Amino acid sequence: MSNSFENIIQSEKPVLIDFFATWCGPCKMLAPILKEVKDSLGERITILKIDVDKNQALSSKYQVRGVPTMILFQNGKQLWRQSGVLTKEEIIKNIVEKSN
C-alpha cells in the first residue's frame, strides 16, 4: 500500500487524501461532500480514501490523530491538512488556493 501511496502523492495533479474510519459519524457526512468536490473539479483532482483502521502505519506516519482528516498533496509535498467536516465550497477553495 505505502509504495503505491507514495507514487500517488508524487503526482503533479493535487491529491486529496481522506483519512476516515467506518465507525466515524462525521466521516460518513464527509463522503458525499467529497463526491461533490470530485464532481466539481473532475480531472483536476484525485481523491483517495484511507481507512485508518486498515492502514495504521500510514495514519501514524502522517500523524492522523482524529478522523476525518483531509491532507492535500502535490508533487509529494503536503500543502494543506484539516480535521473535521468542511463544506464543499471550503474544501474546493483550499484545494484551488493551495495547489496553484
Residues serving a catalytic function are 24, 27
Could you tell me the strand order of the sheet in which 77-83 lies? Answer: 46-51, 15-20, 69-74, 77-83
Q: What is the CA radius of gyration of the chain?
A: 12
Give 15's strand partners. Answer: 46, 73
Question: Cell digits for 35?
Answer: 463526491
Which three-class secondary structure state does DSSP give residue 74? strand
Q: What is the DSSP letter of 44?
A: G
